[in-house]
Structure 1
Amino acid sequence: MNTSPRQKILIVDDEPDIRELLEITLGRMKLETFSARNLGEAQALLQREHFDLCLTDMRLPDGTGLELVQHIQQRAPHLPVAMITAYGSLETAINALKAGAFDFLTKPVELPRLRELVSSALRLPTAGGLSTAIERRLLGDSPPMANLRKQIDKLARSQAPVYISGESGSGKELVARLIHEQGPRASQPFVPVNCGAIPSELMESEFFGHRKGSFTGAVEDKPGLFQAAHGGTLFLDEVADLPLSMQVKLLRAIQEKAVRSVGGQQETVVDVRILCATHKDLEAEVSAERFRQDLYYRLNVIELRVPSLRERRDDIEALAMHVLKRLAKDTGQPEARLHSQALEALKNYRFPGNVRELENVLERAHTLCENRTIEAQDLRLSEGNCTADGAMADLTQIDNLEDYLESVERKLILQALEETRWNRTAAAQRLSLSFRSMRYRLKKLGLD
């Protein structure tokens, strides 16, 4: 016989009919409910009882649901709160999410959606386990990283869309994965997609799927990325690279929570949390009219900035040691030692490619070093990075200027491609080149 105590839900609404509907529905889910008619009664119940979830109306006789969210954030930050708003009050819902609400419902309340929200909220990890799990995956003790871990901990307990900003190679996808893995959707799919790597003519099919025969080559039905991420998280990396025509369709899918496959007649309901990232300044892209303002506001409910490696140089040693341990394990060789001068060189280097570049540098040095000791020269930090560290070219080593400039160009282009995971569009932007110019240079250098 199961004697474990039932989970407790606090319902805050001044309308008796709404309270009764919620009480009956949650009672059938074997949950214990407590009801309050106003803000004062809710605060008194919160002082006396421990709750697992709070559902509150936005408008209360003596205050607002937003005030209750703020009250709970201060006193019980790990208690999820869901806001119930009038239909169409999107701005109110977004303000609630920014204040710390877990999610929101619109009136009239749809019971399947209510049950789904409640089940999701009750799957949240208990307080205390989050920070430890995040710390194991996100290395570094610097103040910027401590702040980042704290924000991930908080955002994992929400369903709010998050815009993750930061330079290429800084770890934006890892941050997105941690938000997913520490939240209630952890057992469901995490689907990452590089928006800059999908040809524009295939985008609609990739995102929403297609039906057999809908276009040449569509030999069978294929689900899209939204369907693949159903119940979980869809991570849109380099979202600024989406063409305007696709931005319109993405906005509609997010608003309607439904998609229609190419060639399909019916819409499919999808339940996904959207996380997105880009190394570009998304606000500047909106100002330049390359990114829709309405989509920007839907995606950027909460912005989370990932610091560059330059902003957390104190973490370089710990990161380097971690990478060398992993390389030793992967290669089955003894762990390489980092000479003090090599460590100093790493700490003084600019790292335009951030953590990804650090990994590439150490992997190369791990292969080149003698006697399992990485010397400063094994890092080859100055190659192709003259402007980064102020190094001057040695004229005695140059036989032909054209050949030398071509070799420098090759190294810089290869570095940009490595930093952007061989995304040619992103690499061109990293070097401030047009895509046409990038394509010409790749062909000229034999890199295409």
Structure 2
Amino acid sequence: MVTPSATAPLCKRCGIRPATYRRFGSCNACRSAFYAHETRLRTANLPLISFEEFCRQHPWRASRRPAPAAVIPPAAAFPAFAEDPELVPGFLLFSPIMQRLAADIRKVAATDASILITGASGVGKELVARAFHRLSDRKNKPFIPVNCGLLAPELAESLLFGHVRGAFTGAVRESSGLFLAANGGTVLLDEIGDLPFGLQIKLLRFLDDQVIWRVGGVESRVVNVRILAATNRDLPALVKRGLFRADLFHRLTVIRIHVPRLAERVDDIAGLATRFLQAAAPEKKFSADAIRAMEAYAWPGNVRELKHLVTRIRHLFPGDTVSERDIQYYLAQGSAWESTAEDPEPTDVAPASAPLPSSLIQLSWTELKRRTTEEQRIKLVRDLWVECRGNRREVAKKLKITYKTAFRLLALAGLRQHPE
């Protein structure tokens, strides 16, 4: 065994300098290979061995000295890529924290319990949902992802539950809806925090009895669909603000799975980057300094940003070995793009968090809907409800709408009792 020095610690197995020595005393690839070997021993009910014994039985290099060139060959650095064959393709499990996540997925995948997948944008929440589907008894049935942030409020119910012919203007033919199309399978409601408020009560009812009523129809139909939800928003905070139903939140969070940020699982960065680069440009490779530069970066865009970095290297980098300086250059390109993208163009629609100007109350309801978001309209209805002390006719008068419309809006906002 090579005794690591204080200035440049070496891996116990391969003799290279690992970024994760402080945690394990070994590099990512060696630890991943050991975990895979340990899993095979457990499956065969054979005696387990220690990591030191594993290093003696499975030497990686004939020489235990560091490689003279500071280059990590893509094919040699991560021979098995620690990819679990039972999970979806591309679900890479280098770090212990992701391997624990995979173990949790296996435990609950076979159940029909509602699961809420949380995590920042770009961490791979849809991959986790696909893993749940693939490891369940529904794996041969459809898997349909739905981005709730893209659902238009006036068409969302029709898209999910279906409609009959002539149910509304433009409904020239009937539609079965996505829930019926996924019968027997799984539906992922991605960005569930952006689901229109009026549709949340309908989804809650569907989760309770699995019965769909098509828009304009008079016949119900029972379906068998597993619902998975994913979000990058703080749902408890939305519940407190009255923008997400508390009963739906509790119905969805029977089991909660959190996918950590890439910066919280540094052990994954080298393996993921090498795997992405090998798939995109097999002739290129990262130097050891480039790997360390990526491990020191914060990755605000998570795995998606790492993929974009590899894409830029594939198309723009002319050489074969990517250095630390090259990584910093292409990361700076991405940061400049992100800072530009975060400044949206001005619009006449007020931001969701901004207070509504008092002049908007003078507009017609149609114009008000065009200039405001649904969250703002719900807040406006709530404020008027309190101001009018629960008088629905006064609310309708101030909004210039019919009493029936005001009654429906108040019901959607969850306001049925007289305010205290």
Smaller-chain TM-score bracket = 0.5 to 0.7
Residue in structure 1 matching 2:223, options 256, 262, 270: 270
Pair 1:134-2:87 in alignment? yes
Residue in structure 2 matching 1:352, options 283, 300, 305: 300
Q: Report what 1:144 is aligned to.
A: 97
Distance 1:180 1:266 in 2: 30
1:175 shift after superposition? 0.2
Q: Is the CA contact (8 Å cut-off) linking 2:84 and 2:93 kept in structure 1?
A: no
Aligned ranges for residues 289-308 of structure 1 at < 5 Å? 289-308=242-261
What is the TM-score with the length of structure 1 in the denominator? 0.56
Distance 1:136 1:219 in 2: 40
The verdict on how the C-alpha distance between 1:433 and 1:416 changes in structure 2, with shifts beyond 3 A counting, is: farther
Pair 1:371-2:319 in alignment? yes
1:347 shift after superposition? 0.9
Q: Is the CA contact (8 Å cut-off) linking 1:368 and 1:378 kept in structure 2?
A: no
**Cα displacement string for residues 137-194 of structure 1 (whole angstroms, at most 9, x for unaligned residues):** 4213212111101101111121111000100000000000000001100010111000
The verdict on how the C-alpha distance between 1:251 and 1:414 changes in structure 2, with shifts beyond 3 A counting, is: same
Aligned ranges for residues 214-363 of structure 1 at < 5 Å? 214-328=167-281, 334-363=282-311
1:278 shift after superposition? 0.2
CA-based RMSD of the aligned residues comes to 2.9
Aligned ranges for residues 47-196 of structure 1 at < 5 Å? 132-134=85-87, 137-196=90-149
Unmatched tracts of structure 2, length 5 or more: 1-82, 356-369, 374-420
- Residue 232 of structure 1 aligns with an amino acid whose one-letter code is G
Distance 1:375 1:251 in 2: 52
Q: Is the CA contact (8 Å cut-off) linking 1:230 and 1:271 kept in structure 2?
A: yes
Distance 1:411 1:254 in 2: 38
Distance 2:144 2:343 in 1: 25
Distance 2:253 2:299 in 1: 28
Q: Is the CA contact (8 Å cut-off) linking 2:123 and 2:260 kept in structure 1?
A: yes
Q: What fraction of aligned residue pairs are identical, expressed as a percent? A: 43
Query: With CA pairs under 8 Å and 6+ residues apart, which has the higher RCO, 1 or 2?
Result: 2
Greater shift, 318-327 or 138-147, is seen at 138-147
Pair 1:414-2:341 in alignment? yes
- Residue 293 of structure 2 aligns with an amino acid whose one-letter code is A
Distance 1:437 1:353 in 2: 29
Q: Is the CA contact (8 Å cut-off) linking 1:257 and 1:269 kept in structure 2?
A: yes
Higher strand share: 1
1:383 shift after superposition? 4.0
1:413 shift after superposition? 4.4
Q: Is the CA contact (8 Å cut-off) linking 2:84 and 2:91 kept in structure 1?
A: no
Q: Is the CA contact (8 Å cut-off) linking 1:366 and 1:374 kept in structure 2?
A: no
Q: Report what 1:382 is aligned to.
A: 332
**Cα displacement string for residues 247-279 of structure 1 (whole angstroms, at most 9, x for unaligned residues):** 011111111211111111111111101110000
The verdict on how the C-alpha distance between 1:317 and 1:433 changes in structure 2, with shifts beyond 3 A counting, is: farther
Q: Is the CA contact (8 Å cut-off) linking 1:163 and 1:299 kept in structure 2?
A: yes
1:376 shift after superposition? 3.4
The verdict on how the C-alpha distance between 1:291 and 1:137 changes in structure 2, with shifts beyond 3 A counting, is: same
Greater shift, 316-325 or 340-349, is seen at 340-349
What is the TM-score with the length of structure 2 in the denominator? 0.60
Distance 1:256 1:133 in 2: 32
- Residue 305 of structure 2 aligns with an amino acid whose one-letter code is E
Distance 2:372 2:237 in 1: 23
- Residue 316 of structure 2 aligns with an amino acid whose one-letter code is L
SS in 2 for 1:133: coil
- Residue 122 of structure 2 aligns with an amino acid whose one-letter code is G
Distance 2:290 2:159 in 1: 45
**Cα displacement string for residues 37-93 of structure 1 (whole angstroms, at most 9, x for unaligned residues):** xxxxxxxxxxxxxxxxxxxxxxxxxxxxxxxxxxxxxxxxxxxxxxxxxxxxxxxxx
Q: Is the CA contact (8 Å cut-off) linking 1:234 and 1:275 kept in structure 2?
A: yes
- How many pairs were matched up? 270
- Residue 311 of structure 2 aligns with an amino acid whose one-letter code is E
Distance 1:191 1:351 in 2: 29
1:382 shift after superposition? 2.8
1:433 shift after superposition? 9.4
The verdict on how the C-alpha distance between 1:259 and 1:437 changes in structure 2, with shifts beyond 3 A counting, is: closer
Unmatched tracts of structure 1, length 5 or more: 1-129, 329-333, 386-407, 418-423, 439-448
Aligned ranges for residues 431-446 of structure 1 at < 5 Å? none
The verdict on how the C-alpha distance between 1:314 and 1:415 changes in structure 2, with shifts beyond 3 A counting, is: farther
1:437 shift after superposition? 11
- Residue 180 of structure 1 aligns with an amino acid whose one-letter code is H
Q: Report what 1:204 is aligned to.
A: 157
1:367 shift after superposition? 1.1
